Every structure is written in C-alpha cells, then in structure tokens.
Amino acid sequence: MKTPGLTKLRGSVKVTVRGERIEIFINELAKERIEVWNLRPLAPDRMEMEIVISDYFRLRPLLKKTSCRVHVDKRAGLPFFWIRIFRRKWFLAGFALFFLIIFALSSMVWDVEVKGNKKIATEDILLAAREEGIYPFQWIFRLPEQDKLSKDLTRKLKGTSWVGVSKSGTKVTIEVVEAAKPKNTEMLSPRHLISKTDAVVTHIFAERGQPEVSKNQRVKKGSVLITGVQGDFQVAAKGEVRGLVWHEYTIEAPLVLRQKVFTGEKKERGYLYFGDTAVQIWGYGKVKYEQSQTLTRLDPLTWREWKLPLGWMSEDVMEVTELETKQSPEMTIQRGLERAKLDILAKNGADARIVQQKILHENTDNGKVYMKVLFEVEQNIAEEFPIVHNQGE
C-alpha cells in the first residue's frame, strides 16, 4: 500500500488537522474512501497528512462533522506549478516571443546571391527572381518549389541555358549558366576598299574581294585597292592594304621651356561637409602665394560599403612657380620632332611606322625654332567605299 499514483501530476497538499476527535476523523476518511497518506501525529490533538487536491475539497463535510480544523502547509505537484508559472505570464510571453522571433527571422530570405552570370546583369536576374517571389525578407515557406523556380527563371531569363536555385539557411543562391551564343557575324553590304591618300603600296592582302593593285604601285586618293565585284557577285571587300605616305609638318617650338613646379610651400584647410555644404574648421586666412594649385581630398564616413553624405574634406593649397629653362636649338628640334611623331601616330593609327624623316627647312627666330619636316610613313591606307546599285545610267 503506497501513496496513490500520479500525485505529482494531480497535485497534492500537506495539511495539518487540528481537533479533539482526530481518530474519528481518520475513520471517516477511510469510510469515505478518501485517499490520504503519511498520517503523522504531532500532538494529541494535531496530525499531519497528505492528500490529493481533488480529495481535499471533499474534506469539508467531514471536518464539520468532527469539528476539526485544517491548515495547508505545503503544496506540491503540477497544478501548483502552473499557477506559479501563470503568475509570471509576461515573463513567459517574452520567452515565447523570443523563440517566435528567432523562428520568424530564421525563416526569412535574408540574402539573394547571383552566381555565374557574365553577360546578363545581376540586377536583371534579381528582378526576374523578385517576380518569382525570391527577394530579401520573403518568407522561405512562401517560396515555390525549387525545381519550379529554376524552370520559370530559365524561361524568363533570355540567354540562359539553365538557372539553378538553391537555398541554404536564409540565403538563396541563383546559379546561372549562360547559353553559349554563336558569334554575331556582321552583315556587311557590298563594298570596295579604296585608298584614302596618295601612296605607294607596300603590302596588300585581300581576305575577300579582288586586289586591284600590286606592291610598289603608286595609287591616287580614291582609287580602288580591293574591289568588291567578283564576276557577277558583289561582296564586302575585306583586307589590309598598307602604303608609304608623305606627311609634311610645319613645326614651331620655343627655345625656352616653361614648367610649373611646386615650391613645397603649402597651406592646409579642413572642412566638415554635409551633402553639398562644407563648413571650414581650420586653415582660415589669406593665401599669400602668387600662383597656387589646390588639391582637394574627400574622406566620407563609410558604413560597410556605403559612403555617407557627410565627412571630412581637406584642401591643400600648394604654391606654384614657373620655371623657365633655356634649351639648345638641337634639343628644341628634337622636342618638336617628337611631338610631330606623336601626332602622326595619333592620326594614322598606332600601327603606323615612320620610315624616314627629312627636315626641309629650319630657321630660329624670336626665341622659337621654325621648321618644315617631311615624314615618310608606312600606314594603313584602305578605306571602305560602298558599292551603290543603280548608279543611274
């Protein structure tokens, strides 16, 4: 005979019973089949016992009958635990809320990453993904099936052969395999290649079309070098024709070389700027330099990769003086020629090659060197010229 089962679950109380007729009370308990246990006499008219809560409320008539009094000493079991817990319901609610928030935040898409795209802009892919429902702060459980997503995205994004969508944690990775496109072949209309200047042909190579001139042949401006007419067909002539061309340059170069140099004197100014307005913090006062150059450096506040529209601007006002150096006529001529050569290369293509240069005339006057130079340059001379139908006979 032990204590009744599941007393912890049902909840039990330890009570003290006080009264003259305690023995009769015990007999009544037995008669009513009220389950009590651990009856312990404390004093002649006092007894301690344990009882299940539901039975505790059945004690009342018995107590009245035997004129005993009862006092609860100790409560134990789940029902009392719940009452205690319920008293702290807001604490508990916070506890639940915490788990709810953790769960909610972890079931959101936080990051969408696009991989493997070269020609398609990441923004376009993200836009297509957004239409499909993949975007930051979207619930993960609202995302469609992954194979459906990848199918729809593949259909939506032109120029892809496969789009894979994978999700790991709160991050969605969109992997794109771009379709290998055949190279765009230029659709060219029939044309000749003609000479753009008078020249002597040094090299002719016709990739398509019929060469009309040969090496060492003198050609005039506008004469056909490679024709696009091949029998009855008309093609877009293509090829490379190089020739010797004479360029005449009139060069004037000063004997005195002026250069701007920093003296090393400088004045620093510091500004705090907010958007377009800057407030000077230090470096007040006039600048005493005759000539100066100002270097401005912006140092915005950054947070991660974003630049904030406020920060520090520093200005260095540097004194500048002009330095004059006299040069010999030879050096001046050299300098003039170098400049002319750069000009030739800029005008006739980087593959132009100067074969020969000849100073025809040279004259120093008013601190300047005047000269006339003839350059013999080997360069590309071909120019496209469309073949026009219906030339109006």
Partner 1 sequence: MGRFSRKLRKWSVDFLDLPQDLVFDLPRLTMVGNKQLLIENHRGVLHFSPDKLKLALTDGSLDVDGRGLVIKAIMPEEVLIEGYISAIQYFGTGEKG
CB of 9 to partner 1, least distance (A): 19
Task: Return the half-sphere exposure (C-beta side, CA atoms, 13 A cut-off) of residue 250.
Answer: 0
Residue 165 to residues 111, 112, 132, 146, 170, Cα–Cα distance (Å): 13, 10, 11, 6, 13
71 contacts 16 by C-beta, under 8 angstroms: yes
CB of 39 to partner 1, least distance (A): 4
CB of 55 to partner 1, least distance (A): 13
CB of 51 to partner 1, least distance (A): 12
Nearer to partner 1, 47 or 109 (CB): 47
CB of 36 to partner 1, least distance (A): 7
Nearer to partner 1, 27 or 302 (CB): 27
Nearer to partner 1, 41 or 94 (CB): 41
Nearer to partner 1, 47 or 120 (CB): 47
CB of 40 to partner 1, least distance (A): 5
- Binding residues vs partner 1 (CB under 8 A): 1-3, 22-23, 26-27, 29-31, 33, 35-41, 44, 47
Nearer to partner 1, 17 or 153 (CB): 17
Nearer to partner 1, 48 or 383 (CB): 48
Task: Return the half-sphere exposure (C-beta side, CA atoms, 13 A cut-off) of residue 332.
Answer: 22
CB of 19 to partner 1, least distance (A): 12
Biggest alpha carbon–alpha carbon distance for the chain: 148
Distance in angstroms (rounded) separating the CA atoms of residues 372 and 97? 90
Nearer to partner 1, 74 or 119 (CB): 74
Residue 287 to residues 134, 217, 283, 293, 317, Cα–Cα distance (Å): 58, 67, 10, 11, 8
CB of 13 to partner 1, least distance (A): 17
Task: Return the half-sphere exposure (C-beta side, CA atoms, 13 A cut-off) of residue 115.
Answer: 10
Alpha carbon 199 to its chain centroid, in Å, reads: 53
Nearer to partner 1, 53 or 206 (CB): 53
Tell me the two tokens of residue 376: 């013999």
Strand partners, 274: 277, 310
11 contacts 75 by C-beta, under 8 angstroms: yes
Instruction: Please name the helix (run of DSSP H) or strand (run of DSSP E) that holds residue 60, with its range, or none.
Output: helix 59-66
Nearer to partner 1, 76 or 354 (CB): 76
Task: With H, G, I as helix, E, B as strand and everything else as coil, classify residue 327.
Answer: coil
CB of 49 to partner 1, least distance (A): 8
Distance in angstroms (rounded) separating the CA atoms of residues 277 and 274? 5
Which of 182, 173, 137, 180 shows the shortest CA–CA distance to 153? 173
Query: Between vectors from CA 216 to CA 213 and to CA 219, what angle results, nearest 5°?
Result: 55
**Site of tokens 């006979």:** 393
